[in-house]
Structure 1
Amino acid sequence: MKTILRAFALLPLPLLHALGALVGWASFLASPSYRRRFLENAAQAGYGPATVRAAVAEAGKLVTEVPRLWFGRPVRIHWENASLIVEARDRGRGIVFLTPHLGCFEATAQGYAERFGAITVLYRPARKEWLREVVDTARARRNLAAAPTTLAGVRQMLKALRAGEAVGLLPDQVPPQGMGVWAPFFGRSAYTMTLSARLARQAGAVVLLAWGERLPRGRGYLVRVRPWPGPVPADDVAAAAGVNSHMEALIRECPQQYLWGYARYKHPAGRAI
């Protein structure tokens, strides 16, 4: 499998994105359950099929760009509001990046590691051993570490923050049972992680919102950075509601690149931490 991925990594990004568009539409047309969830989630946010049509192809690009990001040459990554990062680093503060399933979140972490320094990202280990080995080795690169969704992973992230480094999370990912609270997301109750806010409070870290926009015709990515206004609420439910509200705002910047097919409103699985 790694050999196949390395072969795809040699392809230019425009071609990979073109192939991804085909993959996205094939998946959308072939799976009634995926198509239904995609359209229902978009409708919950107030979007009709015409608005999110482009997101069908973008979901496929998310898959086919992975070999290039994991095994290929570095891609072009541009920044918007990078001064927010520089300011936090100049103050010696750790940074908690919150990124929804929007655009290319792999590029966001890689871009930070390449330009600014060490970052640790939270990930859910693959269930199959062969895939776990591929993912773990592929993501291992200079200044970029991965922390699993375990107690050890949480400690790893907290240690990084206290050292003035950055961590990254996908807060619109459904956490395991016992690691979240129910909070509104586009007007519907969704099980939402509490970890991001707790990390920020315990480490006294700066919270920044970020997402990697996929630029047209494979020209690379633009990481858009936004501030978290005000302090992080001490109450877990209020903090989760705030996180969801900020994720909604990012998604509304570009609903055409959100992963609408993600099962955001599912009930959590068994406890992992």
Structure 2
Amino acid sequence: MSDFNAVIESLFRAASGLSLPLLHRLGSALGWLTYAASPTYRRRMRAHVAQAGLEWAHARGAVASTGRMLAELPRLWCRPADQALGDLVRWEGVEHLETALSARRGLVMLTPHLGCFEVIAQAYAERFGARSPITALYRPARQPWLRTLVAQSRDRPGLLTAPATLSGVRQMIRALRQGGTVGVLPDQVPPEGMGVWAPFFGREAYTMTLASRLVQQTGAAWLLLRCERLPAGQGYVIHVSAPQQPMPPADDPVGAATVVNQEMERLIRACPHQYLWAYNRYKAPRAQPAAESGGEQP
């Protein structure tokens, strides 16, 4: 198995040298191959699109987009820390970030699994990290070789990481109270005991309370971000917007989770052809390992 992992890692690193247009072409083929080969995958993707009230034609591009998301990871994760993203990324709505950072009361950035969400933390660190470092929540990969690559991808100036554990939550709260920035993807199913049931596209989904509690416990500002992948490997556009609703108080966790879900829905509807519709968003939460127990309180 170690030899197999070594081969996979070598292939992954070799793929990092391919151009982004080529990786995206390969990813498109991978996405459609997976869609064609797996009836379960296909049914889930179509069911989730229908649950959102969208026509399949509006979300059909997500089949190829999911493959592109996987294919671009070698280039993003293995990119040397001193190699700037530069013109590969442009920002829209950056004035919202400027205003929030100027207030110096901490900033929570929320983004769904849409487009190239992996590039957001890197691009933020490159542009704003010296001013206010970002702490990104992550769950360590099970495979040792993959853990090494992920750690390398996030070992960059202005970019810190926090594990998805109680200690990681405390780390993020400290960062916010010191005026820092944290990044969270709130549209993933958290472990049992770390979320509440709240509607997501009209169906109850187990939703993390972490995103709202970070705002409620620290008084930090919060913004919504989505990273749209441009066609033909031309790069990415990061869209920044302010929430359209205030965050409910801490004594209403379901209301707060509902607001966060509604804001995620708004971002997804703006770019449905790049959302990760195949993710099993409505599954039951997994049991939380004992080492991670204790909830989200700091």
TM-score, normalization: structure 2?
0.89
**1: CA distance between counterparts of 2:178 and 2:12?**
34
- Give the alignment partner of residue 190 of structure 1, picking from 201, 205, 209: 205
Structure 1 stretches of 4+ with a deviation exceeding 3 A read none
Matches within 5 A, 1:60-209: 60-72=67-79, 73-75=83-85, 76-117=88-129, 118-209=133-224
**2: CA distance between counterparts of 1:250 and 1:64?**
23
State yes or no: 1:266 paired with 2:283.
yes
- CA deviation vs aligned residue, 1:194-247 (integer Å, no higher than 9, x gap): 001101111111010001000111111100011023531111110000000000
**Percent identity (aligned):** 55
Which residue of 1 is the match for residue 20 of structure 2?
A: 13
Structure 1 residues not aligned, in runs of 5+: none
Which residue of 1 is the match for residue 51 of structure 2?
A: 44
Name the SS for the 1:225 alignment partner: strand
Is 2:78–2:149's contact at 8 Å kept on the other side of the alignment? no
**2: CA distance between counterparts of 1:135 and 1:112?**
17
Which residue of 1 is the match for residue 60 of structure 2?
A: 53
Which residue of 2 is the match for residue 246 of structure 1?
A: 263
Q: Given residue 94 of structure 2, which amino acid in structure 1 is its aligned partner?
A: A
- CA deviation vs aligned residue, 1:79-129 (integer Å, no higher than 9, x gap): 011011111111112110110111111111111110011111111221233
- CA deviation vs aligned residue, 1:45-85 (integer Å, no higher than 9, x gap): 11232221111000000000001111135441100110111
**2: CA distance between counterparts of 1:31 and 1:12?**
28
Q: Given residue 262 of structure 2, which amino acid in structure 1 is its aligned partner?
A: S
- CA deviation vs aligned residue, 1:123-142 (integer Å, no higher than 9, x gap): 12212333223322232211
**1: CA distance between counterparts of 2:247 and 2:218?**
12
**1: CA distance between counterparts of 2:214 and 2:262?**
19
- CA deviation vs aligned residue, 1:168-214 (integer Å, no higher than 9, x gap): 11100000000000000000000000001101111111010001000
Q: 1:89 to 1:46 in 2, by over 3 A?
A: same
Is 2:184–2:211's contact at 8 Å kept on the other side of the alignment? yes
**2: CA distance between counterparts of 1:218 and 1:12?**
8
**2: CA distance between counterparts of 1:25 and 1:176?**
31
Q: 1:153 to 1:57 in 2, by over 3 A?
A: same
Deviates more, 1:41-50 or 1:123-132: 123-132
Is 2:111–2:184's contact at 8 Å kept on the other side of the alignment? yes
- CA deviation vs aligned residue, 1:245-269 (integer Å, no higher than 9, x gap): 0000000001000000000000000
**2: CA distance between counterparts of 1:177 and 1:46?**
28
**2: CA distance between counterparts of 1:139 and 1:22?**
28
Name the SS for the 1:18 alignment partner: helix
Q: Given residue 245 of structure 1, which amino acid in structure 2 is its aligned partner?
A: Q
Name the SS for the 2:61 alignment partner: helix
- Give the alignment partner of residue 232 of structure 1, picking from 247, 252, 255: 247
**1: CA distance between counterparts of 2:53 and 2:111?**
21
Higher-Rg member (1/2) = 2
**1: CA distance between counterparts of 2:243 and 2:221?**
8
**1: CA distance between counterparts of 2:61 and 2:23?**
16
RMSD of the alignment, in Å? 1.3
